[in-house]
């Protein structure tokens, strides 16, 4: 009877596994699958977009893509905006993911190969996120901030070497051909810096009731 191989050191079994093409003499440790992390801010933006009306979506589209659209197809606008928001979010996650990958390549001793691989990738600079107030839905008329004059009022603000005329509308403010949802967004468009919109336009106090009654 042939002697038992129960106490074999594994060499014979290894040879058999190599012959079947299933044995790896230098197995690579398997990293645990990272959990899928959903940014709460992204989830909130997507949720707000999904509740908007077409005219609101067109404004958000302009902030998100940097150009206007004449589309009134609500389903298409929602899909286009939410897809772009996820692309923007991934572009901000990519530098972190690459940093983690570099550390793993270092641990496994393949930094040079990984560096060569990175050279084949296209640039992955983070895409600028649209302003948060682009996703704010307009207040109902009864909940209108009393510091804001009635729709149709034209606010004039001198800045730099020119006067800027801003028209108050039912759901925001018009500066030239562009609509903004808040005075702070208008002030940033004019100055390039963050401002409190009420202070910038001198509306930091509520408009008197007597003024409102005479201008409605």
pLDDT tens over the chain, length 216 residues: 554 444 444 444 444 444 444 434 444 445 444 444 567 888 888 888 888 888 888 888 988 898 888 888 999 999 999 999 988 888 877 777 777 777 877 777 777 777 777 777 776 777 787 876 667 665 544 556 778 888 888 999 999 899 999 998 877 899 988 888 888 899 999 999 888 888 888 886 554 444 344 333
Tens-digit pLDDT profile for residues 161-214 = 999 999 988 778 999 888 888 888 999 999 998 888 888 888 865 544 443 443
Q: What pLDDT does residue 38 have?
A: 60
Note the pTM of the prediction, 2 decimals.
0.44
CB hemisphere CA count around 146 (13 angstroms): 9
Confirm if 80 and 61 have CB atoms less than 8 A apart. Answer: yes
Distances (CA, A) of 209 to 59, 139, 146, 147: 31, 19, 9, 11
Distances (CA, A) of 83 to 91, 105, 129, 164: 13, 31, 13, 35
Distance (Å, whole) CA 194 – CA 78? 28
Kind plus residue range of the DSSP H or E element containing 96 = helix 74-107
Distance (Å, whole) CA 51 – CA 4? 72
Distance (Å, whole) CA 186 – CA 157? 11
Distances (CA, A) of 163 to 18, 140, 154, 195: 80, 30, 12, 17
Confirm if 78 and 50 have CB atoms less than 8 A apart. Answer: yes
Q: In what order do the strands lie in the sheet with 178-180?
A: 154-159, 162-169, 172-175, 178-180
């Amino acid at each position: 009877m042939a002697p038992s191989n129960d106490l074999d050191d594994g060499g014979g079994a290894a040879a058999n596994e190599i012959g079947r093409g299933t044995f790896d003499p230098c197995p690579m440790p398997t990293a645990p699958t990272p959990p899928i992390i959903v940014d709460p801010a992204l989830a909130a933006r997507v949720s707000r977009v999904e509740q908007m009306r077409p005219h609101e979506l067109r404004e958000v589209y302009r902030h998100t893509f940097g150009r206007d659209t004449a589309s009134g197809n609500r389903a298409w606008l929602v899909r286009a905006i939410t897809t772009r928001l996820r692309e923007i979010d991934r572009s901000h996650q990519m530098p972190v993911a690459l940093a983690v990958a570099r550390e793993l390549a270092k641990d496994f001793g393949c930094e040079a190969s990984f560096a060569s691989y990175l050279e084949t990738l296209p640039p992955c600079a983070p895409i600028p996120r649209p302003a948060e107030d682009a996703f704010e839905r307009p207040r109902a008329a009864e909940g209108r901030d009393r510091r804001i004059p009635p729709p149709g009022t034209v606010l004039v603000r001198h800045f730099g070497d020119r006067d800027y005329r801003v028209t108050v509308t039912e759901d925001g403010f018009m500066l030239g051909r562009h609509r903004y949802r808040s005075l702070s967004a208008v002030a940033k468009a004019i100055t390039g810096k963050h401002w409190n919109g009420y202070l910038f336009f001198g509306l930091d106090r509520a408009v008197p009731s007597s003024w409102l009654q005479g201008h409605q």
